[in-house]
Amino acid sequence: MCGRYALTVDIQAMLDILMNRYNMKIALPLNEYRPRYNIAPGQQVLAVINDGKQHRAGMLHWGFIPPWAQEPSIGYKMINARSETLAEKPAFKASFQNRRCTILADSFYEWKKEKNRKVPMRVKLKNNQVFALAGLWTSWKPQDGDIVYSCSIITTTPNHLMAELHHRMPVILSAENEKLWLDPSIKDIELLKSLLTPYPSEEMEAYEVSTAVNSWRNDTPECILPVQKTEENSP
């Protein structure tokens, strides 16, 4: 699964990514973005969609709330969507065809089981680049209040690296596959499914981080530091 991740680049770097990678003329207001080291379900996350004319960036609630939901709390059970069943699941089927998005990240966390403890690991690309997680988005209108736009991160089977940590991993899209995923004119289910594959393990790495990441309340640079560096810097 993917239950916690990070996006740590500063606002200028993010604006450059949005404008150069996605050809956006207008990006986010400065007050809507800040580096995040421990993003958790239920929070607002930076995502990219295509409205049929252009790419757009904005914040989505992490935790998919289907239009038919009675309560928004169902979103906590739908932070992830399995790639194998998107076309059949009633909650995700329409979004799979019509409301696809990417969620930007530069790493994610997984907890490795070692004897009687779970060790938090940070997983990232070796080149340190921001990457795009495949996602779905939707809108939900409560009886009273504003529309909530929410999303789910798609998971797939693990690559060799991730298999040592967990039996699932988030779908990281290549640059080519990201273009196809965001193209709303593509309706071919089999083509879309073919994009949702494990990312090459040789391009990824993982290392142990502080248990500070265990709590979503901790959202500081300490969360991404290797354990050795944290210990060396501790008083």
The two beta strands, 36-39 and 80-82, are unpaired
Residue 202 annotated in active site:
no
Catalytic residue, candidates 2, 101, 151, 223: 2
Q: Which residue has the tokens 């798609």?
A: 154
Question: Is the CB of residue 35 less than 8 Å from the CB of residue 156?
Answer: no
106: three-class secondary structure by DSSP: coil
Q: Which of 32, 101, 110, 176 is an active site residue? A: 110
Where are any strands of DSSP class E within the chain? 5-7, 36-39, 44-50, 55-62, 80-82, 100-105, 107-114, 117-125, 131-140, 148-156, 169-170, 172-173, 204-208
Q: In Å, how far from its chain's centre is CA 116?
A: 29
Determine how β-strand 172-173 pairs with β-strand 169-170: unpaired
First vs last Cα of the chain: how many Å apart? 35
| Nearest partner of 98 among 109, 112, 87, judged by Cα | 87
| 84 part of the active site | no
Residue 178, Cβ neighbours under 10 Å: how many?
A: 20
Catalytic residues: 2, 110
